[in-house]
Amino acid sequence: MKKRIRFFIVTSAYLLSLTVLLSSIFELQYSIIIGPFLDLLFLSGLIFLCLIFSIICVFINGFKKLKSYIPGLTLIFSILCSIYLPVTDLSHRLHYTLNRKNLESINTISQLSKINEMTDLLRYHKSINEQQISNEEKYKTKVEIETVFGDYLFQNDINIDKVVDLRKRLVRSDIVSLSRSEDYLVLTIDGFVDNEYGYVKSFGKELKIGDYIPPYGFCIVRLYEFRNGWYFYYST
């Protein structure tokens, strides 16, 4: 039993220190997977746990063994990386690379289908252009979407198959809503109140921190630039 506990503590110390190191290198406190703001607390908790397990690891393995200090040294190195190394955007570039073709398809489909506003139809507020519905239901299939939006789509000559395809692509890239204007395509991944983050494609000017983007006029406070007018933004 004692061996299992010791093994668990030592293994946890190594895994926690590795997680903190990767968080520093990939800047996971601003990652897309977990989301910003809340995971700063999550990362702080990881660092605290890593510190505790690293100290215990020294006592378990002994003071004379180098491997006893690896988790603690890794933790210190991770913190120094966060403080002194330049900000990286590896996690954002990885997400963009994996989703680039899908993002371009979303842009093309929304343009050709004249869909300027749309949500993933899974959250409480659902919309396709001016048509809005609020309920606890989730509309995933063609039949479900046609039941509630069919008349509106028919009256406005919007192809239901394009809507279904677009919804699937939004979900595939973790996007909860799109908003299209003459200048921008804004694909919101998540956020709360006036803090949102996601992709924005500019059809004209180069974006910079401090610019305001539709549909709510949020101010960009953090920005990563990719190719063909694509950016990843954080607003407040």
Phi, psi of 224 (to 5 degrees): -120, 130
In DSSP terms, 196 is beta-bridged to 191
Convert the pLDDT of each residue in 93-115 to its tens digit. Answer: 888 888 999 999 999 999 999 99
Residue 86 predicted with pLDDT over 70:
no
pLDDT number for residue 193: 63
Q: Is residue 215 reached through a cis peptide bond, with omega within 30 degrees of 0 on the bond before it?
A: yes
Query: Cα–Cα–Cα angle for 26, 32, 33, nearest 5°?
Result: 90
Instruction: Decide: 176 and 113 in contact? Cβ < 8 Å.
Output: no
Name the residue among 145, 153, 146, 192 with its Cα closest to residue 171: 145
Tell me the mean pLDDT in the region 164-187.
94
Residue 23 predicted with pLDDT over 80:
no
Band of the pLDDT at 92, cuts 50, 70, 90? confident
List strands edge to edge, sheet with 218-225. 131-134, 125-128, 117-119, 177-180, 184-192, 195-202, 230-235, 218-225, 212-213
The full 3-state SS of the chain, as one line of letters, equals CHHHHHHHHHHHHHHHHHHHHHHHHHCHHHCCCCCCCHHHHHHHHHHHHHHHHHHHHHHHHCCCCHHHHHHHHHHHHHHHHHHHCCCCCHHHHHHHHHHHHHHHHHHHHHHHCCCCEEECCCCCEEEECCEEEECCCCCCCHHHHHHHHHHHHHHCCCCHHHHHHHHHHHHHCCCCEEEECCCEEEEEEEEECCEEEEEEEECCCCCCCCCEECCCCEEEEEEEECCCCEEEEEEC
pLDDT number for residue 185: 96
Tell me the mean pLDDT in the region 170-188.
93
Q: What is the CA radius of gyration of the chain?
A: 23
Name the residue among 96, 125, 123, 112 with its Cα closest to residue 166: 112
Convert the pLDDT of each residue in 38-80 to its tens digit. Answer: 456 777 888 899 999 999 999 998 888 888 999 999 999 888 8
